[in-house]
Amino acid sequence: MNINFTWVKEKALNEIDIFANPENKTKLQQLEKHLNQAHEIVAVDPKNNRSIKIPLHQIESFETMGHLVRVNLPNQQTYILQKRLKELSYLESQNFYRINNSQMLNLKAVQSFQLGEHARLEVHTKTSTAYVVSRHYAKNIKERLSCSNN
């Protein structure tokens, strides 16, 4: 199946037109269902070892713990994800970006950012948590934060 894109500046940002043969209706309905579903991950509650679905918009950050990832929520709750941090790179489309080698941050949770000690970028979330962005990731994070403020 070929996919052709045509970019039109006059088009509203929340609107996408798709022209397709009626034979592809079921495929496009599956695509629509996937795009409209609430994105969530399944993590383990370390207190009782039960699996729980967590909507992505509720997650503040991910933090590596060796071969596991800790999921941090704004209300100080933490869960465990049986993955490595690099396996979560697909979440960039959901506004989660690496800020250093051990953390990934939901940029929608960012309240402000400023230069910290030793010219490091410091990011503050809506819950007043401060994260230090490594120099390697600072340029990308500044660009993402500047774009989201416009």
Selected residue with higher pLDDT from 70 and 2:
70
pLDDT (tens digit per residue) in 84-111: 999 998 888 888 999 999 999 999 999 8
Radius of gyration over every alpha carbon of the chain, rounded to an integer in angstroms: 18
Cα(5)–Cα(63) distance, integer angstroms:
36
The reported pLDDT for the residue numbered 37 is: 59
For the sheet with 78-81, list strands across it: 50-55, 40-45, 78-81, 68-72, 61-65, 103-106, 96-100
Question: Is pLDDT of 31 > 60?
Answer: yes
The reported pLDDT for the residue numbered 149 is: 58
Q: For residue 58, what are the β-bridge partners?
A: none
What does the domain layout of the chain look like in residue ranges? 40-149
Q: Give the fold, CATH level 3, of 40-149.
A: OB fold (Dihydrolipoamide Acetyltransferase, E2P) (2.40.50)
DSSP labels, 64-91: EETTEEEEE-TTS-EEEESS-GGGGGGG
Selected residue with higher pLDDT from 64 and 122:
64
Cα(78)–Cα(70) distance, integer angstroms:
6
